[in-house]
Amino acid sequence: MNNIAKLVRPNILKLSPYSTARDEAGGAEGIRVWLDANESPYGEDGINRYPDPMQKRLKGKIAEIENIHAESIFVGNGSDEAIDLMYRIFCTPGEDNAVAIAPTYGMYGVCADINDIEHRPVQLNSDFSLPVERLLAATDGHTKLLWVCSPNNPTGNAFPFEQLCELADRFRGILVVDEAYSEFNTASRKGKDLLKGRENVVVLHTLSKAYGLAGARVGLAFSTPFIVSLMNKVKYPYNVNLLSQTKALETLDSVDKIRDNIRSILAERERIGNILPLIDAIEEVYPTDANFILVKVREGRADDLYAHLKDFHIMVRNRSKTPGCAGTLRITVGTAEENDTLLETIRNFK
Ligand SMILES: *Cc1c(COP(=O)(O)O)cnc(C)c1O
């Protein structure tokens, strides 16, 4: 058994997955009449047909854009599906545990709770840097997963590549690096580079942020073909619907437009990142590698500023109750016009 197989729950390792009519067909080549899946013969744009369970066209496109083998790509109903699958594949309820940085994305903890897996949050250092030794010290023989979000939500900072390497090499379980905001991180070496020569890394990406498809629910995981095959075994057979697969393909076909949008967001991030510290109400603006900025509000008045913005019909995320983020708001970078409205409204806060 390979080292990774030893980490997998025994019931999952021996699972025979559901086999769909489309899996058994093994390809649509040459077929004229489909009478295998009890679908309706009536419908527009192919919506009467089940979607491709393995999303081959979409994976082919992603493989091209990301320069990664299609067998190393999992496509899910948002990255939230991939997060849940990690627990279901690797963690035995009531027995195993998972370590994660804190503060971070809430779903690692929620999915741990749902799956009855002990969740072990480890606070970031006070400057939001990665506590490598404390993370490793929190692991034991039952720690199957180690969660690092980079750039981290809600702090905004990305962690140095060398530290992620160190975690992957010293941890005996699966390191999951959530790079939902990867496209806004200008670092030269990122999650995908961790996969070279390692078998215990899963990198999460999503089409929800930079690609503008949050409503379509398309998340990606990059890993070894072995781990991806486990994810495919456990996922719902038709986990990504036809409309979303079609929309994702369309969007990836015009990737130049997406790159323009990313450039605009980065320019705006820079612009408002320079203006925010000049506004009286703002005590600190934290460095960001994502499409949002965490700010600390002066005199502990984050809740008041949050309410003020809401009065003026502007929603930001209140993070003032999150341990490690006391007194902060998380602000997504919008269009220049939206950002101007935000800045003006903060200026008027008394
Ligand atoms: C937004 C976000 C996601 C995206 O989740 P989807 O299910 O793909 O929409 C994943 N991880 C983090 C840290 C996020 O902030």
pLDDT digits (tens, 9 = 90+) for 138-181: 999 999 999 999 999 999 999 999 999 999 999 999 999 999 99
CB 149 within 8 A of CB 133: no
**208 C-alpha vs ligand 1 centroid, how far in Å?**
7
Residue reference for tokens 């941890």:
171
Predicted local distance difference test score (pLDDT) of residue 19: 87
Query: Per the confidence metrics, is the pTM higher than 0.75?
Result: yes
**Which amino acids bring their CB within 6 angstroms of ligand 1?**
78-80, 105, 149, 153, 178, 180, 206, 208-209, 214, 219
What is the tens place of the pLDDT at every residue in 95-108? 999 999 999 999 99
**291 C-alpha vs ligand 1 centroid, how far in Å?**
12
Long-range contacts of 52-61 (CB under 8 A, 24+ apart): 52/22, 52/245, 53/20, 53/22, 53/23, 53/237, 53/238, 53/239, 54/23, 54/232, 55/240, 55/245, 57/245, 57/249, 58/218, 58/240, 58/245, 58/248, 58/249, 58/252, 61/249, 61/252, 61/253
SS3 286: coil
Nearest to 60 by CA among 245, 184, 230, 261: 245
| Atom from ligand 1 closest to the CA of residue 217 | 9
- Distance CA(205)–CA(21), nearest Å, equals 29
Angle at 346 between CA 343 and CA 348, to 5 degrees: 110
Residue 268 CB-half CA count within 13 A: 23
Chain mean pLDDT for the chain: 97
Omega before 154 cis (within 30°)?
A: yes
138 CB-near residues (< 8 Å, 6+ apart): 99, 120, 122
Q: Which helix (H) or strand (E) holds 204?
A: strand 201-206
| Atom from ligand 1 closest to the CA of residue 149 | 13
| Atom from ligand 1 closest to the CA of residue 219 | 8
- Distance CA(35)–CA(47), nearest Å, equals 15
What is the tens place of the pLDDT at every residue in 287-299? 999 999 999 999 9
Asked if residue 216 has pLDDT above 90, the reply is yes
| Atom from ligand 1 closest to the CA of residue 104 | 13
Side chain identity, residue 203: V
**43 C-alpha vs ligand 1 centroid, how far in Å?**
33
Pocket test for ligand 1, best of 206, 293, 317 (most atoms within 8 A of CB): 206
296-324: average pLDDT: 97
What is the tens place of the pLDDT at every residue in 46-82? 999 999 999 999 999 999 999 999 999 999 999 999 9
Give the closest residue (by CA) to ligand 1 atom 12. 180
**22 C-alpha vs ligand 1 centroid, how far in Å?**
29
**37 C-alpha vs ligand 1 centroid, how far in Å?**
33
